[in-house]
Amino acid sequence: MAFLIDSERPTTLDELTYHDSITQQLRGLARRPDLPHLLFYGPTGGGKMTRIQCLLREIFGPAVTKVKHEFRTIKDASSSRPMLDVQVLYSNYHLEVTPTEAGTRDVVVIQHLIKEMAQAPPLGGDVPFRVVVVNDAHNLSRSAQAGLRRTMEKYVGVLKIFFHADSLASLIPPLRSRCMSIRVPRPTTEVVKIELERVKAKMGVEMNPHLATIIATESRGDLRYGLMQLDAISAQNGGSHALRNANTPLARLPWKVVLEDIVKDILTEQTPKQLKVGAHSMVCRLG
């Protein structure tokens, strides 16, 4: 059985149920032959990657969802380790990569893959370009960002870059200025509650409204976290009964439990020694 975060993920713009103004903006962008480079930013759990994938489908059609995973070997003549393996996800129309997985050599990864995509044979048809999706762009090194601003201009006619970032703070102004920025905030607590109730109604399962409120409040706008809580409760013995019970306890993430305990200890004894003890305890307990 698939997890809710996978089975309930929208795949088209029509299936998106909140942030309507952003959806309309993406619909208009998808029709533009002069689509600019795009920078999606906002906190985790807001739906940035979902909207990127929906936009890709709006531009290229359902064939863009036929993706493959593979490791590609990239030569890095400037390093003592000349061969570099990087994981990519790709279709005939786009490529997704997280360059920061290569550490400080992210500049080599991103430059190689962009040039490779830009020099591929033309697609033909109505869309004259391909897309490279750069995950975790906020973690790109300064050298990678500096190199990108030149590459983006060189290949703009045949290649568009969609950046996925949690924040704009670490991105250099010349890079930001070459993109249309689209902020994707987290949904409100009320929206998360509505989404949780919609999912359970779709599955034909009754859910206590008070429990939905508790989960939505605990999620702090992270719909993904809320769906994971639903999965955890449903997996319990008597999951349907647990969903109808307003007093059903929520699953607690191990790292969150550890941090809460450490904070309590530090607040009890506010000394450098206790801070050191707390940090050591976190390392030992989370391993």
Decide if 145 is inside a domain. Answer: yes
- DSSP letters, the chain, are ---HHHHT---SGGG--S-HHHHHHHHHHHT-TTPPEEEEE--TTS-HHHHHHHHHHHHH-GGGG--EEEEEEEE-TTSSS-EEEEEEEE-SSEEEE-GGGGGGGHHHHHHHHHHHHHTSPP--SS---EEEEETTGGG--HHHHHHHHHHHHHTTTTEEEEEEES-STTS-HHHHTTEEEEE-PPPPHHHHHHHHHHHHHHTT----HHHHHHHHHHHTT-HHHHHHHHHHHHTSTTHHHHHH-TTPPPP--HHHHHHHHHHHHHHHS-SHHHHHHHHHHHHHHH-
- Domain of residue 86, CATH code: 3.40.50.300
pLDDT for the residue numbered 172: 96
pLDDT tens, residue by residue, 72-85: 888 876 666 677 88
Same domain, 95 and 159: yes
Sorting pLDDT into bands at 50, 70 and 90, what band is 175? very high
Residues 35 and 176 in one domain: yes
What total number of domains does the chain contain?
3
> What digits encode the pLDDT tens for the residues 52-79?
999 999 999 999 999 999 998 888 766 6
pTM here is 0.84
pLDDT over 80 at 177, yes or no: yes
Question: Do 51 and 164 belong together in one domain?
Answer: yes
Interhelix angle 20-30/48-60, nearest 10 degrees: 30
User: Do 280 and 148 belong together in one domain?
Assistant: no
Average pLDDT (217-243) is: 79
Measured distance between the N- and C-terminal CA atoms of the chain, rounded to whole angstroms: 30
What does the angle CA 185 – CA 187 – CA 190 come to, to the nearest 5 degrees? 155
Q: How confident is the model over 176-198, as a mean pLDDT?
A: 94
- pLDDT category at 18 given cuts 50, 70, 90 is very high
Average pLDDT over the chain reads 86
Residues 46 and 69 in one domain: yes
Residue 101 has pLDDT above 90, yes or no: no
Instruction: Say what the pLDDT of residue 282 is.
Output: 64
- Residue 207 sits in the same domain as residue 272: no
Interval 105-158: pLDDT, tens? 899 899 999 999 999 888 877 888 999 999 999 999 999 999 998 899 999 999
Residue 195, in any domain of the structure: yes
For residues 201 and 110, state if they share a domain.
no
| Same domain flag for 168 and 258 | no
One domain, residues 107 and 54: yes
pLDDT interval class at 4 (50, 70, 90): confident
Domain's final residue, options 183, 212, 229: 183
Residues 6+ apart with CB under 8 A from 160: 35, 36, 37, 38, 129, 130, 131, 132
- Which domain does 240 fall in, by range? 189-244
Specify whether 76 is located in the same domain as 92. yes
| Strand, helix or coil for residue 268 | helix
Q: Is residue 249 part of a domain?
A: no
CATH of the domain at 237: 1.10.8
pLDDT tens for 237-286 read: 555 665 666 566 676 666 677 777 777 777 777 778 777 776 676 666 66
CA distance 165 to 205: 36
Q: Which residues pair with 81 in a beta bridge?
A: none
Structure tokens at 282: 């976190």
